[in-house]
Every structure is written in C-alpha cells, then in structure tokens.
C-alpha cells in the first residue's frame, strides 16, 4: 500500500487547450483595447450647440428680390450669386450658413469626397476593405489644426443644414475645409496627371486716374473636384463675428474659410494654392483658407497680416497676396508647411499656382508644376496686360476675360492656358480703396454684379450704393460647363474599360463646343487606345494647331505623330 503524503498533489492530466484559450483571450482583449484606442484617436470631438428659429421671407418692394431671414442672418440672390449676411458667434454664423444654404451644401460635400478618399490608395488584398480605417487614421489630426471658433463654426453649419433637411456630417464638413490644402484631384476631373485640385490667378493693376490705387482681378477654380467645381456656386458673405472685424469674402457653400476677401480696415487677402513636397494630411496645422479668415478678422495693417501668416504653421502651401486699400501698398507671402517667405516689394503683378522665391521655387513638386502646368502662361499673359495703368474697372474685366496666348494669338474657347479659361468657380474684381466689389454672375452671361462694401462693412451711408455693374461680353464664349461634364463622363467610362461609351461622351462634348481643346486631346487618346491611328493623328494635329494646353499631352501627341 503506497504511503500517503499529507499535502501532496496528484499529477494532473495535461490540458494544452487551456493555454491556447488564455492566449486567444489575451489577443481578443488586446484587439478590443486597440480598437477603442483607434476609434478615440480618429474621432473628431464635435462642439455642443443648438439651432433655433425659423426661416422667414420678406420683400422690400413689389418686384424686388425676395430675402430669406434666419435670426440675425439673411440670404438674397443677385442673379446666380448668393449674398449671405451673417452675424453673431462662430456657432451662430455657421448655423445660419448651413440653414440658409442647406440645398447647396450636400452637392459640394459629395464633389469633395473623392478628393479626400483619393489620398489613401486601395492597392493590396485588403486595400478596399480597410480603406475607411486607413483614411480616418491619415486624417486624424485635421481637427487639431483648427481653432475652437473653426470647430464651432463647422458644428453650427452641420446642425443648421440638418435643421433645413440636408444630411451632412460634421466629419465631412470638417475635412472639406482642408481639401484645397491636402486633397487630390478626382479622376474624372482630368486634373489627376497635373496633381492640381484648385487653380487661381490674382492680378494687380494700377489705376490710371489714381496711381496710388489698384484694382485686383481674381479668378479661383475648383476644377479638380469630381464635378469640376460646378457645385461651388459663388457666395458673397458679409460676416460680422462677435469681437472680430467685419469682412466680406467670395467663396462657396459649406466653406468656413476665405480665399478672396477684404475686411473693414481695407486689408484684402487672396489665396493662390500651390503644391510642395512637404504637404502632408497627417500634419496638425491650420488650413490656409481658415488662416486667411483669421487675418481678416484680426489684422488692421499689412505688417500685422504678414506677421500672422509667417507665425502660423499651415497645412498646405500657397501664394498669399495682401493689399492695403488705404495706401495702395501690397506684398506677397509664400507659405508652405515649413517655411514662410515675405516679399514686401514684389517684382510680379500677377500670381498663380507656382511659388517663385529662390528659397521655395526649387521644391520638387513646385518645380514640376512650373514645368508641367499650362496655367503658368496665364500669369505671364496677365503681367503683360497690366504692365501699363488701367483706365477703368472695365479694363480689368477685359484682362480676366482675355482668351489670347502669350504670343497674342487667339485661342479657342476653354483653352486651359488662357486667363478666361471658363473653369472658374468665381471671378471677381476688387477696388480696396473705394471698397467696391464686382463678382461675375454665372447666370448672367459674364455680367459682373457690383457690391458696396463701405456700407456693408462700415455702415457708411443710409443704404447700399454700389457702382454700376460691368456689362457682359459682346460675344460671350459658348457654355463650357455641359461640355466638360460630358468629358468627365468619358473619363468615368474609361475607368470602367468602356471605350465606346467614352468615345460617345467625347462626341457629345465636341458637339457642344467643337474646338474645345480638352475634348480633342481626350478623343485622340481614346482613338489611339482603340487602334484607330488615323483618327488619333487627325485629332492630335487639330489639337496642336489650336495651341496645345497640356505640356505632358503635347509630348504624347508629337510622339504619336512621329510614328
């Protein structure tokens, strides 16, 4: 009989599954904890706030435009231009914007979404499945670069739009504020190869009658969006935020920043987006358009404005033009995420998509843009046209409508290397001394409607007394919007591999505008890919004869004709 040992243990049967179960449990707990950490890291904290009040309508006199009012804000239409007057704190201003422009905000959000989603690729086995997670991770710091007023403005805009039945998310609107800085062109836009989502032009012309005064001509385009910028209808905003300087800007629905604007002190700002190699969506920095709004709200002099821009790290890169209406002086700040170079005596009188100072011009992305973008020719042409003082504001309008090349030759409608390329989301002229603004009416055949900013921002005069509108062109160009929409459909068809549908869409575009250079070039590329060499050669030759407006495409065309 074996001895009994008090306190002894029986040998247990080995259970390997227990260790495996514990390991799996630990892994599950780790995954769960990591998931909650991830969700917390990528979430944007939406500021609190409420939206109250109903929209009412009023009419000053029989036949006068109907004005919509919401609390202290109002909306009226000057042809195809929305005129929005806003006041209060940041949340109230955003809420009024969203409430009054509710039908116009969702189309812009939809058009910008591909430019945001395109910043993350879908390559790899799980690329499509993990796209949203990787996108949220890459954009997780965007809200860190915004001020509290920025976030409250966007939160109010979200709630205001929802109160009017428009379903837009806070996350979407917040990211949209950074699209111009870090977004990528949508594939159907035709801008993907050029790496350009927005393009713009700022032209400064001396007034012949008053040499100390200037006119500023301005075009701004969001042609890289999925809809080519069609949803970005021009909005003139008169903003009087609590504790801030009043300002006026020209923008688009759902935008909380400024790219074209002037404050009550006569300090004007114009943002021309550029591309440099140090731009990253993962930075925690201020979107440039939101910084421009802060300049108008806080700066009273050119030096204060320049100092604010130089001291604020930015998310994107841009050429920023500052003008003082009281003195007629102006300067330029080239701002990138890592550098800021101010030119107090600029040699140029026109600015566009490319940085020109010695310290920044050689950036690889900027150098590529200088060599590959046809829009550089727009700057050269504009400087020639304003070399001499301009006799009147109509002369500046003629500069913005110009459709000639740098060689003075006529170019076909829609040519991408001319100033009046027909792609602008807004076209404006500003006299910062007299505080007069003209904005092109998209429904007025090129007519530019006038606004009296002295009254709007300073309260001078019993009522608004704007100058005369600028008449439309005697022979306005054909409507390019429908033709370019067909070209976007053609590019979508090519992405599906449907060359027949793509060719048909090109044919419809050319039926609308027979000499549209983009249509000739794309149709030639489609014919070449289908093996129709004769047709491709004929189209390429026709495109080259009209003056090529795509440097990269020109190389392809000449190579095709050489064989």
Section 39-67 average pLDDT: 83
Q: Is the pLDDT of residue 531 over 80?
A: yes
Q: Is the pLDDT of residue 419 over 90?
A: yes
DSSP-based three-state secondary structure for 412: coil
Closest C-alpha to 357, from 348, 383, 365: 348
Q: Is the pLDDT of residue 19 over 80?
A: no
pLDDT band at 39 (very low <50, low <70, confident <90, very high): low
Section 126-133 average pLDDT: 78
DSSP conformational letter for 286? B
pLDDT digits (tens, 9 = 90+) for 359-404: 888 888 888 888 888 888 999 999 999 999 999 999 999 999 999 9
> What residue has token string 């249509």?
519
Section 140-162 average pLDDT: 95
141-145, 249-253, 474-478, 501-505: the lowest-pLDDT one: 474-478
Section 281-307 average pLDDT: 95
Closest C-alpha to 442, from 199, 201, 231, 256: 231
pLDDT digits (tens, 9 = 90+) for 316-343: 999 999 999 999 899 999 999 999 999 9
In CATH terms, 481-562 corresponds, of 1.10.10.10, 3.40.50.720, 1.20.1300.10, 1.25.40.10, to 1.25.40.10
Q: What is the mean pLDDT of the chain?
A: 90
pLDDT for position 1: 47
Q: Is the pLDDT of residue 519 over 60?
A: yes
Section 238-244 average pLDDT: 96
Section 124-149 average pLDDT: 85
- For 490, phi then psi, to 5°, come to -65, -45
Q: Is the pLDDT of residue 11 over 60?
A: no
- Listed in sequence order, the residues at least 6 apart from 326 whose beta carbon sits closer than 8 Å to its beta carbon are 265, 266, 433
pLDDT for position 13: 55
> What residue has token string 């090349």?
405
Integer-rounded Cα radius of gyration of the chain: 27
pLDDT digits (tens, 9 = 90+) for 433-492: 999 999 999 988 889 999 999 999 999 988 889 999 999 987 777 789 999 999 999 999
Section 113-130 average pLDDT: 82
pLDDT for position 444: 83
pLDDT for position 462: 87
**% of residues, the chain, pLDDT over 70:** 95
pLDDT for position 31: 76
Structural domain boundaries in the chain: 55-61+88-189, 199-226+271-429, 481-562
Section 520-544 average pLDDT: 91
Q: Is the pLDDT of residue 132 over 90?
A: no
Question: Of residues 59 and 295, which shows the higher confidence score?
Answer: 295
Specify the DSSP element, H or E, that contains 290: helix 288-298
DSSP conformational letter for 458? I
pLDDT for position 494: 94
């Amino acid at each position: 009989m074996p001895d009994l040992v008090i306190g002894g243990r029986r040998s247990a049967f080995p259970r390997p599954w227990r260790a495996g179960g514990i390991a799996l449990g630990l892994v599950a707990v780790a995954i769960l904890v990591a998931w909650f950490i991830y969700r917390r890291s990528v979430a944007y904290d939406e500021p609190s706030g409420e939206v109250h009040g109903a929209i009412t309508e009023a009419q000053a006199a029989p036949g006068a435009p109907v004005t919509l009012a919401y609390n202290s804000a109002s909306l009226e239409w000057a042809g195809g231009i929305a005129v929005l007057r806003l006041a209060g704190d940041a949340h109230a201003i955003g809420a009024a914007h969203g409430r009054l422009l509710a039908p116009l905000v969702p189309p812009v959000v939809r058009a910008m979404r591909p430019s945001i989603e395109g910043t993350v690729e879908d390559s790899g086995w799980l690329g499509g499945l993990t796209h949203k997670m990787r996108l949220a991770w890459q954009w997780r710091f965007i809200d860190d670069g915004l001020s509290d007023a920025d976030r409250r403005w966007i939160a109010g805009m979200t709630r205001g739009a929802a109160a009017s039945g428009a379903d837009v998310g806070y996350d979407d609107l917040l990211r949209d504020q950074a699209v111009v800085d870090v977004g990528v062109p949508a594939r159907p836009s035709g801008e993907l190869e050029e790496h350009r989502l927005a393009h713009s032009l700022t032209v400064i012309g001396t007034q012949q009658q008053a040499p100390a005064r200037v006119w500023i001509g301005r075009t701004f385009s969001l042609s890289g969006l999925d809809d080519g910028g069609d949803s970005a209808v021009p909005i003139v905003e008169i903003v009087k935020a609590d504790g801030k300087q009043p300002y006026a800007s020209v923008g688009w629905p759902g935008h909380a920043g400024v790219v074209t604007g002037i404050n009550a002190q006569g300090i004007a700002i114009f943002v021309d987006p550029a591309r440099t190699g140090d731009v990253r969506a993962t930075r925690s920095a201020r979107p440039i358009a939101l910084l421009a709004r802060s300049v108008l709200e806080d700066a009273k002099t050119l030096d204060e404005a320049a100092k604010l821009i130089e001291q604020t790290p930015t998310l994107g890169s841009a050429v920023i033009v500052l003008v003082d209406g009281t003195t007629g002086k102006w300067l330029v700040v080239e701002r990138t995420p890592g550098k800021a170079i101010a030119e107090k005596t600029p040699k140029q009188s026109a600015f566009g998509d490319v940085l020109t100072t010695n310290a920044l011009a050689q950036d690889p992305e900027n150098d590529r843009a200088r060599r590959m973008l046809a829009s550089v020719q727009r700057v050269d042409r504009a400087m020639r046209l304003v070399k001499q003082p301009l006799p009147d504001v109509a002369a500046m309008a003629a500069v913005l409508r110009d459709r000639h090349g740098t060689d003075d030759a006529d170019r076909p409608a829609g040519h991408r290397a001319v100033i009046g390329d027909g792609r602008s989301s807004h076209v404006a002229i500003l006299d910062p001394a007299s505080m007069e603004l003209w904005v092109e009416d998209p429904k007025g055949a090129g007519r530019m409607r006038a606004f009296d900013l002295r009254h709007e921002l300073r309260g001078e005069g019993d009522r608004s007394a704007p100058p005369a509108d600028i008449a439309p062109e005697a022979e306005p160009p054909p409507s390019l919007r429908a033709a370019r929409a067909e070209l976007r459909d053609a590019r979508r068809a090519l992405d599906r591999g449907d060359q027949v549908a793509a060719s048909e869409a090109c044919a419809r575009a050319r039926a609308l505008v027979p000499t549209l250079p983009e249509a000739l070039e794309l149709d030639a590329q489609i014919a070449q890919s289908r093996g129709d060499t004769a047709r491709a050669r004929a189209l390429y030759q026709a495109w080259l004869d009209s003056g090529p407006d795509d440097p990269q495409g020109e190389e392809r065309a000449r190579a095709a004709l050489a064989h």
